[in-house]
Amino acid sequence: MCLGVPGLVVEVDDLSAVVDFWGVRRRVRLDLVDEPVATGDYVLNHVGFAIRRIPPEDVKLTLEMYEQLLKEADRNDLMAADVRGEIGGSAKPEGRR
Amino acid sequence: MANLLEFRDPIRARALADALARATGDVGREVSLMHVCGSHEQAIAKFGLRSAFPRRLNVIMGPGCPVCITDQPEIDEAVVLAQQGARIATYGDMVRVPGTAGSLADAQARGATIDTVYSIAQAIDLARETTDEVVFFATGFETTAVATAAVILAGVPKNFSILSAHKYIPPVMEIVAEMPDTRVEGFLAAGHAATITGWGIFEPFVARHQLPVVVAGFEPLDILAALLKLVELVRDRAPAVVNMFPRCVTREGNRNAQRQLWQVFRPIGGRWRGIAHIPNGNLRLRDEWAAVDARRRFTIDLASLWRHAPSTLARQCICGNIMAGIASPADCPLFGGACVPDSPVGACMVSSEGTCRIWHQYGGVPNLGDVTCPI
Ligand code: SF4
């Protein structure tokens, strides 16, 4: 529950955003981030809330870390399962890309 | 994927492990360090890091599993509310954690309605779709408490309330540091909790206890590098806060989230399951939010549950000692036998962040040789 997961902001309306997590789109609330978030930004999300806008220079490395984690993990991997949980359940699904 | 080598490079891992061995050797005695994050334990177990640690370095998982430190009476409150007819929504693992006389899953088997959600936002959606009273059993540390706070500040449906079992990490570090038989000489702080609180929050702690704190990420090399830093600080008797996760963590942290957290919650003392009474360790709703506080909205009659004694098996559970850093799952006679993930006796075997569950999943103290260097 404390890992969080990065995603790409594809749509912003006031206090929430549609965020794309490797093809899965979720509505994520923006109440908690401490700087404005715009389409094209990456945010770190936790339990359906963006908790940080990822600085552009850190995006690539952050995504790669998570991709590696998800790629090499088998079904029983606890870390990957927590990350998938975050992706799977951030909020109501907004459909697939 | 070239950059990933920065985190997984076996040559750097070896170099870090060697440096860690040298630094620990320089100290000239056993060194015990504690981390307070389930994800750190997951990474340490998954990548077999323990077998790369020098023999005299002891890395203990402290009370970093939010599910595990939720106290039985808090679970009892949720169970009683469910039995009284409220619909309980909560994060997944909570459902199976035994309270004094059973879990929410047991209540569900007896006809109560329990909903598992990934986000409190889903619980709000549930409340909008029903006229039933929906109570969100809010558990977890500051990282989830800020989400609860944001939801309350944004306004909730009339039939929605919060049963807060949120916990706040910094005070428990104080307790561990003050335990008379503690061997802990430094703390590894969790990167993502510090994203919210900022690393500056550890400065008063370091000043008071003269123990170093290093904020760390979750990749194998992140953890090795952070442990090396900690041992060096112990060796040099130079207590300080060092941020080794600057990509995510700043000194101030997320001020907006902190403001919302303290607008909604106040810290009070309370028990952490199996550990101790932690002054200021529990987060309760402030008086302004009484209307959405399930404890004030409903009469919760716990006495009805407490006629049942905990089972004999449960009394043998040593989760508390494990989280206090004075025992490991290997010391529990039930580990892997009477207590397994499918039929957990204690909370530490339920949660994906619990030490017993993690050790069970990855085989206790697995061998580094097989797993650390896949590249
Ligand atoms: S193995 Fe089970 S009974 Fe033993 S300490 Fe862990 S959770 Fe408790």
List pLDDT tens digits, range B126-143.
999 999 999 999 999 998
d(CA B80, CA B86): 9
Residue B192 placed within a domain: yes
Residue B262 placed within a domain: yes
H-run or E-run covering A96: strand A93-96
- Provide the domain limits for residue A64: 5-87
- A63-72, pLDDT tens digit by residue? 877 777 777 6
**Number of domains making up chain B:** 1
The A residues from 14 to 43 touching B (CB cutoff 8 Å) are: 15, 27, 29, 31-34
Q: What is the CATH number of the domain that holds A57?
A: 2.30.30.140
- A43-82, pLDDT tens digit by residue? 999 889 999 998 888 888 778 777 777 776 666 677 777 7
3-state secondary structure of B285: strand
| Interface contact A2-B143, CB threshold 8 A | yes
Q: Which residues of A touch B119 (CB under 8 A)?
A: 47-49, 89-91
Residue type present at position B37: C
User: Does the pLDDT at position B179 exceed 70?
Assistant: yes
| Count of A-B CB contacts under 8 Å | 137
d(CA B322, CA B354): 10
Q: What is the CATH number of the domain that holds B47?
A: 3.40.50.11740
| Interface contact A79-B153, CB threshold 8 A | no
Closest CB to A46: pick one of B43, B143, B260: B143
- Provide the domain limits for residue B268: 29-362
Q: List the one residue out of B294, B284, B276, B273 whose CA is nearest residue B350.
A: B273
The B residues from 57 to 76 touching A (CB cutoff 8 Å) are: 64, 66-67
B263 touches chain A (CB under 8 A): no
Residue B121 placed within a domain: yes
Residue of B129 and B301 predicted with greater confidence: B129
Query: What percent of chain A has a predicted confidence (pLDDT) above 70?
Result: 81
Residue A24 placed within a domain: yes
In angstroms, the separation between the Cα of residue B307 and the nearest Cα of chain A is 33
Q: Which residues of B touch A81 (CB under 8 A)?
A: 352
| Interface contact B260-A31, CB threshold 8 A | yes
Say how many Å lie between the CA of residue B60 and the centre of ligand 1.
16
Residue A97 placed within a domain: no
Q: Measuring CA to CA, how many Å separate B109 from each of A75, B113, B244?
A: 28, 9, 46
**Number of domains making up chain A:** 1
Residue B374 placed within a domain: no
d(CA B46, CA A94): 33
Q: How many CB atoms lie within 10 A of CB B302?
A: 14
- B228-255, pLDDT tens digit by residue? 999 999 999 999 999 998 878 899 999 9
d(CA B365, CA B360): 9
Instruction: Work out the average pLDDT over B305-315.
Output: 67
What ipTM goes with this model?
Answer: 0.80
Residue A12 placed within a domain: yes
Q: Which residues pair with A53 in a beta bridge?
A: A43
User: Is B172 in contact with B281 (CB distance < 8 Å)?
Assistant: yes
Residue A34 placed within a domain: yes
Per-residue pLDDT, A23: 86
Q: Which residues pair with B115 in a beta bridge?
A: B89
H-run or E-run covering A12: strand A5-13
Residue B4 placed within a domain: no
User: Does the pLDDT at position B21 exceed 50?
Assistant: yes
Q: What is the pTM of this model?
A: 0.85
User: Is B193 in contact with B143 (CB distance < 8 Å)?
Assistant: yes
For chain B, what is the largest distance between any 2 Cα atoms, rounded to a whole number of angstroms? Answer: 65
H-run or E-run covering B121: helix B120-128
Candidate from A1-5, A22-26, B38-42, B277-281 with smallest mean pLDDT: A1-5
Q: Which residues pair with B33 in a beta bridge?
A: B59
SS3 content of chain A, % helix, strand, coil (to 5): 30, 35, 35
Q: Which residues of B touch A76 (CB under 8 A)?
A: 361
Residue B23 placed within a domain: no
- B60-117, pLDDT tens digit by residue? 888 888 888 898 889 999 999 999 999 999 998 899 988 887 899 999 999 999 999 9
- B30-40, pLDDT tens digit by residue? 999 999 888 88
Instruction: Work out the average pLDDT over B29-51.
Output: 86
Instruction: Work out the average pLDDT over B352-360.
Output: 86
The rounded mean pLDDT for chain A is 80
Per-residue pLDDT, B364: 57
